[in-house]
Structure 1
Amino acid sequence: MNVKFYENNEQRLLGITLKDARLPENNNMALHICQNAAQIISNREELAQLLHTDVTNFVCANQTHSANFVQITEQQVGNGALELSTAIPDTDGLYTYERNVVISSFTADCVPVLFYNDQTNLIGAIHSGWQGTIKEITRKMLQHLKTHENCQPEDMQIIIGPAISQEKFEVDTDVYEKFKALGYADDFMYFNERTNKYHIDNQQTVKKQCELAGVPSTNITIDPMCTFNHEDGFSYRQDRGTGRHLSFIMRK
């Protein structure tokens, strides 16, 4: 299985699955966009085996490009793992204190965010497409964790995973104006006069949101892989029917 690990140690596992032509549906991990649900479950089971856990320890959300986030308790472990109908509804951010639970996020050009705090044993994942970035899901979630979970931002470690690059993320004026209205994204946008399109760096905008929430820049890592350009990437812009990466984080 084609998987990129960001950490694989005695404390935790975190990483992202990649496109893999050797596996069913190119290693698609998403039940909401697939040809055969049984093949997706098989892919997830192979990932679970690689992580030395069971697929029933996964937690998956029904992502809607919202700014909604949920704390996962023991009772919710397994939601969305085997059936789309049991996924955490209308949610794009998940966090937990539970051990041996695989918190997941699905992306194909959108920005996946993984985070953990060793002081509080909290872990989590965020799905931030451009709509989620406009709604500031990452900033809002980190502020919530500080206010309600006593997670100090300076103790957070954040990995921003593969996404569509600024070069390939072309948008029209309407989307540009929404990023412009944030008030801090100007440095991450440029106008291409030849195509009459704006280009936006969604990863850098999300990083800025982390910094505005108080996370030091040195605690944030960005994966430079472009999901549009790279052969290991699922890209919605290239193919509306494409599969999804699964970003994962688990505390042992």
Structure 2
Amino acid sequence: MKTKVYVNNEKFFAGMTLKDDTKLEDNNMALHSCSNVENILENRKRLAHFLNCSLENFVCANQTHSANFHRVTLDDKGRGSNLSNTAIPNTDALYTYEPNLLLCSFTADCVPVTFYNKVNGLVGVIHSGWQGTVKEITSKVFDHLIKKEQCNPNDFHVQIGAALGQEKFEVDEDVFLKFKDLGYADDFINYNDQTNKYHIDNQLTVKMQCELAGIPAGQITIDPTCTYLSPDGFSYREDKSSGRHLSFIMRKGN
């Protein structure tokens, strides 16, 4: 299974599937962007086998570039796993305390964030495209977890997965101004006076959001892979009919 494993220890399993031209639809994992649903289900079943769980353990959301998040319970088990219309609606971040539920996030250039709390066992995923970043979805999720779920920010470990790199994330002034208005992203923006375009590092902006929430910088890891430049990457910017990576995290249970 062509997968980048970020964490695999006695308590947590987290990673990201990769593009693989030897598999059905290049190992696309998204039901909402595919040629044949059965191909995607076959890919997901192979992933489930690799992770030693079943497809029924997957929990997926219908991502809308929102700043909405959802606490996953056992009642959500299997939502969106084999049908798009059962996914959790209008949601771009999931978290849970429950073991053996595979939280899923789908990306093709957007920033995927997986995280776990080493003390209380909470795990989560965040989908942060540029729209989610300027809506500060990551900040809002961690603010909620710290204030409402009583999590200690020092207990989190965060993985920022492969995404569109700064070189290829080229935007006009309207998007630049949204990032500038955040007040903390200036260091992650370059201007190209040849093209009159701005280049933004979305991953570093998301990392800063984690740090501002109180998570120690040393507990945040960034995958430097650019989904546009890497042959292992799905890139919507390169191909509007692109497939999707699946970023996942699960707390292992007995």
Quick one: which amino acid aligns to residue 183 of structure 2? G
What residue number does 1:145 align with? 145
Query: Distance between the aligned counterparts of 2:66 and 2:131, measured in 1?
Result: 7
What residue number does 1:241 align with? 241
Instruction: Give 4+ residue runs of structure 1 displaced > 2 Å after superposition.
Output: none
What residue number does 2:116 align with? 116
What residue number does 1:81 align with? 81
Distance apart, 1:170 and its partner CA: 0.1
Quick one: which amino acid aligns to residue 110 of structure 1? C
Offset from partner CA, 1:146-187 (integer Å, 9 cap, x none): 011111111110000000000000000000000000000000
Distance apart, 1:245 and its partner CA: 0.2
Distance apart, 1:62 and its partner CA: 0.2
What residue number does 1:157 align with? 157
RMSD: 0.5
TM-score with structure 1 setting the length:
0.99
What residue number does 1:61 align with? 61
What residue number does 1:132 align with? 132
Offset from partner CA, 1:13-50 (integer Å, 9 cap, x none): 10000000011000000000000001000000000000
Quick one: which amino acid aligns to residue 227 of structure 1? T
What residue number does 1:250 align with? 250
Distance apart, 1:9 and its partner CA: 2.2
Secondary structure, in 3 states, of the residue corresponding to 1:149?
coil
Secondary structure, in 3 states, of the residue corresponding to 1:38?
helix
Query: Distance between the aligned counterparts of 1:204 and 1:238, measured in 2?
Result: 21
1:170 paired to 2:170: yes
Quick one: which amino acid aligns to residue 103 of structure 1? L
Query: Distance between the aligned counterparts of 1:2 and 1:31, measured in 2?
Result: 19
Distance apart, 1:53 and its partner CA: 0.4
Query: Distance between the aligned counterparts of 2:232 and 2:6, measured in 1?
Result: 16
Instruction: Could you tell me which runs of 5 or more consecutive residues in structure 2 were left unpaired when the two chains were aligned.
Output: none
Distance apart, 1:12 and its partner CA: 1.4
What residue number does 1:23 align with? 23
Query: Distance between the aligned counterparts of 1:15 and 1:146, measured in 2?
Result: 24
Query: Distance between the aligned counterparts of 1:113 and 1:26, measured in 2?
Result: 22
Query: Distance between the aligned counterparts of 1:182 and 1:7, measured in 2?
Result: 31
Query: Distance between the aligned counterparts of 2:198 and 2:30, measured in 1?
Result: 30
Quick one: which amino acid aligns to residue 247 of structure 1? S
Instruction: Could you tell me which runs of 5 or more consecutive residues in structure 1 were left unpaired when the two chains were aligned.
Output: none
Secondary structure, in 3 states, of the residue corresponding to 2:210?
helix
Offset from partner CA, 1:190-216 (integer Å, 9 cap, x none): 100111100000000000000010101
Query: Distance between the aligned counterparts of 1:29 and 1:89, measured in 2?
Result: 18
Query: Distance between the aligned counterparts of 2:164 and 2:82, measured in 1?
Result: 28
Offset from partner CA, 1:73-124 (integer Å, 9 cap, x none): 0000100001000000000000001111100100000000000002111000
